[in-house]
Structure 1
Amino acid sequence: MGYRTVADIFSQISGTYDFFLKVATAGRIHSWQRELVSLMNPGGNWLDVGTGTGEVLLKLGENYEGLRVGVDPSLEMLRIADQKCGSCFFVQGIGEALPFRNGSFSNVSLSLVFRHLEDKMAFLSEANRLLAENGRLGLIDIGRFRGTFLLLLLMKTLLRPLGVLLFGRDRWSFFIHSVEESYSIEEIENMLRLRGFRIQEVRKRFLGVVYIVVAVRTASGT
């Protein structure tokens, strides 16, 4: 699925996205994002890829010592993010081709974004390029695990009426497909190592449905 299609989908659901995440995660998305922030470098420029409505950048706080920058392909999402975080900087773009100089950031984060990337290895190369020495890459996402079939069953049954109501039938099907195409933590760790990262922290949340992974840049990516 091309990035323009993804951008269109998220633009159409921008007004209900925060509400749905709160409901779908029983309000825990905010605690997961704060946990991720606590595991990253404590200062320096921060890039949030697929920033959506800017929630990760907001959790850094107004006194964060460094630039707070968000990138997203959806202009509608960025408009909401800009209203919420006026001191942040937002750029329309995609994770596989980021318009920043080498070594510009101490931290790069993605919250519920990695599985949507069209070319994950290309993104990891970009993240490696943009991070300074010992810079950190942090991921929160849904991973494939033993109970993935149960999650998919819920999405196709109990959660489907709410999902279709908020997002529409086709867009809800897109989210189901993204879960079907998710990766296991072991696969993600392997991809990170191949692109010059050392695994720093791996945590599972929400009965193993959600993972938090933090990796440190140790070598140039290929």
Structure 2
Amino acid sequence: YRYVPATVSLVAVSKTVPVERVAEAVAAGQRLFGENYLQEAEEKISRLEQLLAQAGPGAAQAAASPAPAWHFIGHLQSNKSKAAAGRFAMVETVDRLKLAKSLARHAAAAGRVLPVLVQVNVGGEEQKSGVAPAAVADLLRALAELPALRVMGFMTMPPFAVDPEQSRPHFARLRQLAEECARQGLLGRHGPPLLSMGMSADFEVAIEEGANLVRVGTAIFGPR
């Protein structure tokens, strides 16, 4: 396939998964995890750090070198942005300027530049978060004025479909949108754009359409 990226990173979606099982994934070599709920994530991250420390210096170093990194992949309220900006390696669900400004303010206060993805609602579903494709360029221009944020690419969740092939046009649309924005100089300033798309049921199709981040939970941890 023409658009298969050279490398793909696996985000193990660990929402509702007991921390002990996350520790098993870390021991098996997984380093990137995604959480949807802020309070659960904060508790889990702290507890995982304790578990790794209790394993002893040698075991902890072997199990967590490099240390696990966490992406926030759920809907984020602006009033929770301080915790998110301080705790996560990336926020994948920036879909409005108010949230972006809040994240930028708290990231700057913490002395860091926060990598983010813009969540795009490619399916136009009213019940889902995400900026409309037609509004992406304007949002990117506004985000470029926030030096404490580093826009790395896009994230999407297509409409639910039993057949993964039904998701393909939505994945292709996100890739095309990223290419359009890159041509306009709005995306790609920090390397090839990241495209976070694809989950347990359709990640293979997503990769064929250019995904270089896939968010997989059930296929790793089992049904919730």
| TM superposition score normalised by structure 1 | 0.31
Task: Name which one, 1 or 2, has greater alpha-carbon Rg.
Answer: 2
| TM superposition score normalised by structure 2 | 0.31
